[in-house]
A and B are shown apart, each in its own frame.
Chain A
C-alpha cells in the first residue's frame, strides 16, 4: 500500500474521530449548562441528583461507560438496541456501523457534559457576589444580570480549563475502538492485522498532533480576544 493510500485510509478513520469530537462538543457544551445549574440549585433534591450523576459519570472510566451503554440495554431488556440500529442502517456511515457510533456518541456526550458542567460551576461560583449586587441596585433582573454581566466574565475564566478538556476529548475519541468503531486507531490496527503494516499506527499521531495544533491556535485567539478586560 502506498503512503497516499494509507493516509487516505487513516483519514477515513479520522473523519469518524472528528465526528465524535464535533458531536460531543455540539451537544455537550450546551448540555453542561443545565447540569451546572442543577448542581447549584437551592432545591436540595435536584442538587443531590445532579451531584450524584456527576460523581458517577466522572468516577467511572469512559471506556467502561461506553461498554455499559452499548451492552446493557441488550442484557436488561433482551433487546440489542444498538445492533438493531446497525441492522436498519438508517444512516449511511460508509465505513462504520451506525449503532456503535450512536452508543459512543451517547457515552461521550454524557461524560463530557458532566465534565463541562463542573467547569461552568467553578466559573460561575468564582464570580464575586458583588457583581450581582451591582446589577441588582441598578434595578436589573436576574436574567439580565446573568446574561449581560456575569456570563462573559465566566466565559473568560473557563476558556483555559475548557481548552484543556477539549484537547483531551480529541484524544479520548480513540476509546471508541473498544466497541469496534472505525476511528483512526482502529483503522491503523486493521492495517496491522490485514496488511502486516505497523507504521501506520504511529503515523496516526501526526493526525492528532495537527488537529491539536489547530485547536491550540484557536483557543489562543479566543483568549486573546477576551484579553481586553480583567476581572
Chain B
C-alpha cells in the first residue's frame, strides 16, 4: 500500500472507529485522537515510541462497572464505542499480550478488546528503521504478538500488510484491499523462551535485600509518571461514586492509579504497607520482573524505554540493575 491509499484507508476506518495515533510535538511523539483530514496528515510514521501509550483503548482511565439506582445494582450490559489504536509499536503490542493474560477473565476488558481495532507498524532489518531505541525484531515476531492489522515498512513510501485476526481480514477486504498475508498467532513466548538479559534482572531483584532499595527510595519522588506511561502497568482502584442529585443512585467505577501513590497500600485504620518510596519502587520492579514472569512466564517489561525517559529525577532501569548488582557484590 502506498501513502495515498493508506490515507484513504484511515479515512475509511474513521467512519467506524475513533482513531488514536502518534503525532509529533517538538522532538517527541504523543498518542492523540485523530479527528479530521488535517490531523490525518499529522500522523507520524517514524516508529519513534510516543511518550504516552495506547492503554486507554484497552483499559479506560475511568470505567463504569455497574450502575445502581435506589440503592440497588442494575444488570450491566457491557458496551463500548469502537476505538482504533493506529501505529502501535511491536513493544506496545507485546504489552497487549500481557494485558490479555491479566484480564483473561475480565468481561469489561474482553468487550473492550472486541470493540477495538489494533493496528501496528513494524520496521525490520534493512527497511530504514529510524526510531530511537532501536529494537531489532525478526519478522517471526509477528507470530508472537496480538494485533488485527500490521503495517510493515517495505520501502520509502510503501507498506506491506499483514493481518493477525479475522476482524483485520474482514476490514481490509471490505476496504477493497486483498494483497495481505495472514499470520497465525503462535502464543506469546518465543520458542527460545524468556530473554536471558531480562532473566538476569529478575535474579537481581529477587536477590537484592531491602537496604539495596534505600538508595533509589531517596531519589524517587513517587510521582507515578513511570507507571502512568508504562504500557504494561495496569494498577486500578474500584470505588463507588454517588449521584449528588439522585439519592441512592450512582456508579461503581474502576479507574487507573499507580502503586507509587501514598494511599495505595493503606488499610482501614491508617496502616500502610508500602510506606516509603524505597518500598514502592521495589514493589514496582518486583511486579514487572518477578510477579509477572512467575504468573505468566513472560516479562512484565517490554523494553519501550518510556519510564527512563519520563522520570523527572532521571532514574533509569539500567542504572538500577547495575546498582543492585554492585550493591550485592559489596556486601
Decide whether A and B assemble into one complex. Answer: no
